C-alpha cells in the first residue's frame, strides 16, 4: 500500500489534490481513498490531507503517520511543522519551491522533486492555487500513477465542480509542472523536532471547559489569546492598496475575516500585516480594483 500525506494551507487545495490523486489511481485500476484533517481555522491555516493507494480494497480509516510520499504545497510550513515526521527512509517528497532538491532540507535525505508550482498556477489558472500543479510533479516523481490518469482525474473533478474550461486550465498546469519538476535528493541535516503540544491527562485539564487568561506550557490561552496567533505568518501573497483608486466603500473593511483592515481618520484604509493572512477576500470584494494581491510577503 502507498500512503501519501499532503501538507498545505487552507485555500491551496490540498484536499482536492488528495481526492484527484485517489481518483487518478482508481482510473488506473487501483483502490484508493482520500480524506482531509481540518483544524478550527480555515483559509491560510496549515491543513493536512491523506491518500492511500493499494491493489486491494483499503479498510484502514485512520490518518497516515508513516507516509511513503510527502506532498508539500507550501514551503513555509517546513518552518512551523515537523512535516517530514514519520516519512519512510525510502520515501519520496514533492515540494512547491523555487529551490532545487539539494537545497531543501527535510531532515531526512530522500528522493525529492521540486517545482515552482505557485508561479505555474499564477500563470495558468491565474490564482495561487497549487494543487493541480503539484499533482503534475507527483506524476514525475512517483511512478505509480501516470500523468495521463492524473490529467483525466483533474478534468473529471475540476471540470465537474468549476466548469470545463477550469478543468482544461488545471490539467494544463499539471502538464507544465510535470515538465518543469527537478528530481534529485533532499538534504537531511535539519533536526526534526515534534511540535510542542500541551497534552494533559484528564485530571490536569482545568474543569468546566473554561480558560482564564494565562499561559499553559508556554502557550497563551483564554480570552484575547488569538492576538498571539499571528496569522500574518500564513501569508503567501499580500494585498497592495491604491489610495487613488479607493472610493471608500468599506467593503474590504467589512469583509476581512481577520479584521485587520483599519479605517483611518482621513477615511482611507490601513492594513495590519501582523494578522493579514493573504486570503485575498478584500481584493475580491473591492468594486474599484483598488486592492491587488501581490505574490510574496510585504509591508507596503
Partner 1 sequence: MKVISADHAVAHGARLARVEVVPAFPITPQTLIVELIAEFINDGELDADFLPVESEHSAMSAAIGACAGGARAFTATSSQGLALMHEMLYAAPQNRLPVVMVNVNRSLGAASGIWVEYNDSMPERESGWLQVYIEDNQEALDMVIQAYRVAEDREVMLPMMVCLDGFVLSHTVERVDFPDQHLVDSFLPKFKPLYLLDPDEPVTMNPITPPEYAMEMRFQLHRAVDGSKEVIEKVDREYGALTGRTYGGLVDTYQMEDAEIALITLGTVTSTARVVVDHLRSEGKKVGLIKLRFMRPFPSDELESIAENLKALGVFDRSVSFNGFGPVFTETRNALYHLGTPLTNHIAGLGGRDVTFKEVREMFTVIEEHAKGHRVKECHWHGLRGDS
- Per partner kind, with CB cut-offs from 5 to 8 A, the member of partner 1, ligand SF4, none near residue 269 is ligand SF4
Q: Which residue has the cell 512535516?
A: 83
158-217: contacts with partner 1 (CB under 8 A) = 197, 199-203, 205, 207-213
Applying CB under 8 A, which of residues 146, 222, 259, 296 lies at the interface with partner 1? 222
Pairing of strands 92-96, 69-72: parallel
Q: State which residue, 117 or 260, has the beta carbon closest to ligand SF4.
A: 260
Q: State which residue, 192 or 285, has the beta carbon closest to ligand SF4.
A: 285
276's CB contacts (< 8 A; 6+ apart) are 231, 232, 235, 238, 239, 256, 258, 260
Task: For residue 62, state whether it binds partner 1 (rule: CB under 8 A).
Answer: no
Q: State which residue, 117 or 261, has the beta carbon closest to ligand SF4.
A: 261
Helix, coil or strand: residue 186: coil
- Per partner kind, with CB cut-offs from 5 to 8 A, the member of ligand SF4, partner 1, none near residue 261 is ligand SF4
- Per partner kind, with CB cut-offs from 5 to 8 A, the member of ligand SF4, partner 1, none near residue 223 is partner 1
Rounded to a whole number of angstroms, the minimum distance from the CB of residue 295 to ligand SF4 is 13
Exposed/middle/buried for residue 287 (C-beta within 10 Å: 0-12, 13-18, 19+)? exposed
4-43: contacts with partner 1 (CB under 8 A) = 39-40
Distance between CA atoms of 246 and 253, rounded to whole angstroms?
12
- Per partner kind, with CB cut-offs from 5 to 8 A, the member of ligand SF4, partner 1, none near residue 193 is none
256-295: contacts with partner 1 (CB under 8 A) = none
Distance between CA atoms of 102 and 188, rounded to whole angstroms?
9
Q: Which DSSP category does 226 fall into?
A: G
Q: Which residues of 99-137 are buried (b: 16+ CB within 10 A; e: fewer)?
A: eebeebbbbbebbbbbbbbbbbbbebbeebbbbbbbbbb
Q: What is the CA radius of gyration of the chain?
A: 21
Distances in Å between the Cα of 145 and the Cα atoms of 58, 85, 230 are 17, 24, 39
Q: State which residue, 184 or 214, has the beta carbon closest to partner 1.
A: 214
Rounded to a whole number of angstroms, the minimum distance from the CB of residue 29 to partner 1 is 35
Rounded to a whole number of angstroms, the minimum distance from the CB of residue 44 to partner 1 is 17
Residues in contact with ligand SF4 by CB under 6 A are 239, 246-252, 256, 258, 260-261, 269, 271, 276-282, 285-286, 288, 290-291
Applying CB under 8 A, which of residues 225, 229, 233, 255 lies at the interface with partner 1? 225
Rounded to a whole number of angstroms, the minimum distance from the CB of residue 129 to ligand SF4 is 15
243's CB contacts (< 8 A; 6+ apart) are 268, 290
Q: Which DSSP category does 187 fall into?
A: B
- Per partner kind, with CB cut-offs from 5 to 8 A, the member of partner 1, ligand SF4, none near residue 224 is partner 1
Residues of this chain that bind partner 1 (CB under 8 A): 39-40, 197, 199-203, 205, 207-213, 221-225
Amino acid at each position: 500500500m502507498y500512503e501519501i500525506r499532503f501538507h498545505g494551507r487552507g485555500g491551496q487545495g490540498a484536499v482536492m489534490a488528495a481526492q484527484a490523486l485517489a481518483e487518478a489511481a482508481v482510473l488506473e485500476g487501483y483502490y484508493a481513498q482520500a480524506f482531509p484533517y481540518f483544524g478550527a481555522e480555515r483559509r491560510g491555516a496549515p491543513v493536512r490531507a491523506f491518500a492511500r493507494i493499494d491493489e486491494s480494497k483499503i479498510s484502514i480509516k485512520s490518518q497516515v503517520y508513516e507516509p511513503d510520499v510527502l506532498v508539500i504545497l507550501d514551503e513555509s510550513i517546513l518552518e512551523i511543522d515537523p512535516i517530514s515526521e514519520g516519512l519512510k527512509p525510502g520515501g519520496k517528497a514533492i515540494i512547491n519551491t523555487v529551490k532545487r532538491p539539494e537545497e531543501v532540507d527535510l531532515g531526512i535525505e530522500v528522493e525529492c522533486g521540486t517545482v515552482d508550482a505557485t508561479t505555474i498556477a499564477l500563470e495558468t489558472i491565474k490564482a495561487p492555487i497549487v494543487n493541480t500543479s503539484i499533482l503534475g510533479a507527483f506524476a514525475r516523481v512517483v511512478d505509480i500513477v501516470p500523468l495521463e490518469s492524473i490529467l483525466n482525474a483533474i478534468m473529471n473533478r475540476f471540470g465537474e465542480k468549476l466548469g470545463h474550461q477550469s478543468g482544461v486550465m488545471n490539467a494544463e498546469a499539471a502538464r507544465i509542472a510535470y515538465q518543469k519538476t527537478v528530481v534529485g535528493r533532499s538534504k537531511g541535516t535539519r533536526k526534526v523536532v515534534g511540535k510542542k503540544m500541551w497534552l494533559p491527562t484528564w485530571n490536569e485539564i482545568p474543569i468546566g471547559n473554561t480558560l482564564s487568561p494565562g499561559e499553559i506550557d508556554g502557550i497563551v490561552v483564554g480570552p484575547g489569546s488569538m492576538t498571539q496567533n499571528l496569522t500574518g505568518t500564513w501569508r503567501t501573497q499580500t494585498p497592495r492598496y491604491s489610495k487613488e483608486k479607493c472610493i471608500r466603500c468599506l467593503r474590504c473593511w467589512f469583509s476581512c475575516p481577520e479584521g485587520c483592515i483599519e479605517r483611518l481618520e482621513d477615511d482611507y484604509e490601513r492594513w495590519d500585516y501582523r494578522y493579514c493572512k493573504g486570503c485575498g477576500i478584500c481584493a475580491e470584494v473591492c468594486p474599484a480594483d483598488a486592492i491587488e494581491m501581490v505574490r510574496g510577503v510585504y509591508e507596503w
